[in-house]
Amino acid sequence: MAACPATGRRMGGGRAARVPQSVRSSDMAKASSESVAPQVAQGFWRKYVFSTDHQIIGKQYYFLALFAALVAMFLSWLMRVHLAWPRLAIPGLNALSASGAPAGLMTPEYYLSLLTVHGTLMIFFVLTTAPQAGFGNCLLPAQLGAERMAFPRLNMLSFWLTFTSLGVLLASFFVRGGPAISGWTAYPPLSALGSITGPGEGLGQSLWIISIALFCVASLLGALNFITTTLDLRAPGMTLMRMPLTAWAWFVTAILMLLSFAVLLAACVLLMLDRVAGTSFFVPSGLIVSGQMIHGHAGGSPLLWEHLFWFFGHPEVYIAILPAMGVTSHLLSCFARKPVFGYRAMVWATIAIGFLGFLVWGHHMFVSGMNPYSAFAFAVLTVIIAVPSAVKTFNWLGTLWGGRLRLTTAMLFALGFVSIFVSGGLSGIFLAEPPVDVQLHATYFVVAHFHLVMGMAAMFGIFSGTYFWFPKMFGRMMNETLGKIHFILTFVGAYCVFMPMYFLGMAGNVRRYAQFVDPYLQPLMPLQRFITVAALGLGAAQFLFIFNLFWSLFGGKKAGENPWQATTLEWATPGAARAVYRGPYEYAVAGQEQDFVMQNAPDAGPSRARKEAADDNADQISNA
Amino acid sequence: MTTQTKFPTLEERGFGDGGNGGEGSAGRSAGGNGTALSVGPTGIWIAMASITMFFAAFTSAMVVRAGLGADWTRVALPRILYLNTAMLLASSVTLELSGRSLRAAREGPFFGWLMATAALGVAFLAGQLDAWRELAARGVYLATNPACSFFYLLTAAHGAHLAGGLLALFYLVARHRRIARGASGQTILKVTTLYWHFMDILWLYLFLMLALWV
């Protein structure tokens, strides 16, 4: 592979496609002004609340995710403080739940409620919502050169279903018994039998299932919209292999959502029937719960839920991380002022990760009594994912190599993503091995793994995208000084919180316990307290971000049209011709006045022959 | 090896008449594979992929659950299911005839076959309800045993999806004059037809599954 800065002539997989003569920019401008104009004259409710405008919907999703993230972070603080100082009463907690936290001291069950809601909020309402539905709605049509999403009304419905879903989940804080205690995976029989299995397993668990079912429907409709938009509404010349890697990530993620959320929806229907209609899909015979024999259910299998759930659950982690990978690829190229190293390899790695994601769900069930041969198959498939992941990582490094780095806040977070993704991802290879997993399963090693590789990495992608696209979304710049302080605190904080958990896990510290009272865990308590202090600091640092975000909305420096000198269409002049002549990452192109060429910049006549010759050259190199 | 990528002109893609903009803009039928024309069919194909996964999940649950133990008691399927199946198959034929009449610009038969399709759809759903009533009369309810749980579950899930198609048919019936004039609704007719055939095939699949397992 030759990413040669001297000639700089590596098309991002683009071919020498020509826009036919019939493309006349005056037509385009006319068409776009006609279609945009009627949307201006609308009332407040239609424009900002029940809006069919994808940009507004994207922002609605973004702020919904921000709110969910704040609630989830607050819950994690409560849990961390309780873990470090189990006898410390938290003032005011009894006001949230008198039975769950009498006198401010949380019960073990209430800890599990907080854990469940924290996980559910983060995975569904933050990591699935912000990078995909939030940024995707704001930017996918713009990047493809489409005027809008394919189905605007369906888009509005998706958002309001998501909103309702969040409301239903949070409502469970205010019902008898509080929120569900079965974790974000809701394993039966705990989740299938009602309040006999614990506080929160009555109405709280039912609300959880309803909330997730609504979220499934919203996500399916959203995915439908994303896929159709990508397939049908691309501007002339925007071939698939000219799409920015962000668009590729949103596209593949949408396919994962379309196929996996349908399965989760089916599983939720079955679980709900077990709870309310007396069926026995997941409830086995002869259960004794809380000293009572369970009657009326027989013959079901909790493993059936686990298979259905993880068939969704593993693609879900790629749903969370693929958009962040797309953002990282997009930004590293822009801020290294170099084409993406190995664009085609990046596209195929994205597709490969998405495809393999459907074949590895069994690695979440190594300790479920699975046949060792099945476990072996799942293990092999799982470690194969390391290949496309490594392709991506090396291509990121290749993109950086020899680049003229511009260390903006957005770039710092993209670099942070690469670091955190590697620190979190490598431990996945340990967990993919059944014999090792049997030891590490249900310990803090797993907590460290998924918080780094899915949680923090995806958060870094969200931050990176926010600092990068804020000028596009809101017309102003975010404060870079505050941003850089935010980055340093978040980067250091993330490592301080989650790296020690690897050591806790290797020392056998179990997860999901509300208190660590066993003698063998006592020597680990100082490390637990360190993690809690770091978590409080990491959380506090996020208020810098919140302040920066809202202050910049009104007081930020006015942004120019293309503040980062980027090449992709979201930075094109509004109303300009949306025809595409080249690949997405043409930075440092030889023979150009500027060091970047936008995708909609037509070729100058005489240089075309040279360009095609260079393309041939690039093709030969990439085919070699 | 320079490959020239071909793409349709703006006019063909519906840009020329603003077809990429607001919904319901006039003249979107101009051109070959214009964007505004194709999002509907593309969308329904994608939706069908998702619905397939939804029923695949139920199918795998049924196969696993049936293999779990001795409590899987087979149920004699109500005879009316055969009649229902025949009516649903017939409704696909009538919908196809309706579309052909429209293309031949014969408004009367277009409307007649459309009405027949909607009536057969309603009759199918009523027949499915009758099957439930027959089972209930035999004392076979949702939670009686896992086999009949799946019978109720699969028929209900299919019925709910079919009801969506039925709503689309009612909409077409209500707007048949405008569709016959070619003013609008062509895409909805095309999309509804695709979806209705899919519901038909899905039912054949489910009926086979139920006959083999339940």
**A-interface mutation test, from B50, B73, B153, B191, most A Cβ less than 10 A away:** B50
- Statement: residue B7 has pLDDT above 50: no
Mean pLDDT, rounded, for A432-442: 95
C-alpha A245 chain-centroid distance: 15
Contact A281 B149 (CB under 8 A): yes
- Statement: residue A18 has pLDDT above 50: no
Confidence of residue A574 (pLDDT cuts 50, 70, 90): confident
Among partner residues A24, A258, A267, which is closest to B46 by beta-carbon distance? Answer: A258
Q: Which chain B residues are Cβ-neighbours of A304 within 8 angstroms?
A: 61, 64-65
Q: How many helices (H) and strands (E) does chain B have?
A: 6, 0
**B-interface mutation test, from A39, A224, A232, A251, most B Cβ less than 10 A away:** A232
pLDDT one-digit tens code per residue, A288-345:
998 999 988 999 999 999 999 999 999 999 999 999 999 999 999 999 999 999 999 9
Q: ipTM, 2 decimals?
A: 0.89
- Statement: residue A142 has pLDDT above 80: yes
C-alpha B117 chain-centroid distance: 12
The pLDDT value recorded for residue A418 is 98
Residue pair A51/A163 in contact by the 8 Å Cβ criterion: no
Among partner residues A18, A279, A619, which is closest to B1 by beta-carbon distance? Answer: A619
pLDDT one-digit tens code per residue, B183-204:
677 888 999 999 999 999 999 9
Residue A222 CA to residue A156 CA, distance in Å, equals: 9
Among partner residues B11, B49, B143, which is closest to A279 by beta-carbon distance? Answer: B143
- Statement: residue A512 has pLDDT above 80: yes
State which residue of chain A sits closest to B149, comparing Cα positions.
A279
Confidence of residue A624 (pLDDT cuts 50, 70, 90): very low
Q: Bigger pLDDT: A455 or B15?
A: A455
Q: Domain limits of chain B? A: 24-213
C-alpha A610 chain-centroid distance: 41
Q: Residue A193: CB partners within 8 Å, gap ≥ 6?
A: A201, A275, A283, A287, A289, A294, A297
According to CATH, the topology of domain B24-213 is Four Helix Bundle (Hemerythrin (Met), subunit A) (1.20.120)
Mean pLDDT, rounded, for A427-442: 95
**B-interface mutation test, from A224, A243, A257, most B Cβ less than 10 A away:** A224
Contact B18 A35 (CB under 8 A): yes
State which residue of chain B sits closest to A257, comparing Cα positions.
B50
CA end-to-end span of chain A, whole Å? 8
Contact A279 B35 (CB under 8 A): no
Among partner residues A27, A228, A260, which is closest to B42 by beta-carbon distance? Answer: A228
Mean pLDDT, rounded, for A24-33: 40
Mean pLDDT, rounded, for A82-110: 93
Taking the CA atoms of residue B139, residue B144, residue B145 and residue B151 in that order, the dihedral angle to the nearest 10 degrees is: 70
**A-interface mutation test, from B10, B25, B72, most A Cβ less than 10 A away:** B10
Residue A220 CA to residue A132 CA, distance in Å, equals: 12
State which residue of chain B sits closest to A258, comparing Cα positions.
B50
The pLDDT value recorded for residue B183 is 66
Give φ, ψ of A194 to 5 degrees: 90, -165
Residue pair A260/A315 in contact by the 8 Å Cβ criterion: yes
pTM: 0.89
pLDDT one-digit tens code per residue, A359-394:
999 999 999 999 999 999 999 999 999 999 999 999
Q: Residue A385: CB partners within 8 Å, gap ≥ 6?
A: A353, A356, A357, A360
Confidence of residue A615 (pLDDT cuts 50, 70, 90): low
Q: Which chain B residues are Cβ-neighbours of A368 within 8 angstroms?
A: none
The pLDDT value recorded for residue B34 is 37
How many of the other CB atoms lie within 10 Å of CB of A208?
A: 27
Cis peptide bond upstream of A189, omega within 30: yes
Q: Which chain A residues are Cβ-neighbours of B47 within 8 angstroms?
A: 224
In terms of Cβ atoms closer than 10 Å to its own Cβ (0-12, 13-18, 19+), residue A518 is exposed
State which residue of chain B sits closest to A272, comparing Cα positions.
B153
Token representation of residue A452: 């780094």
Q: Which chain A residues are Cβ-neighbours of B22 within 8 angstroms?
A: 34-35, 38-39
Residue pair B51/B161 in contact by the 8 Å Cβ criterion: yes
The pLDDT value recorded for residue B37 is 55
Confidence of residue B71 (pLDDT cuts 50, 70, 90): confident
Give φ, ψ of A510 to 5 degrees: -70, 155
Among partner residues B9, B47, B146, which is closest to A23 by beta-carbon distance? Answer: B9
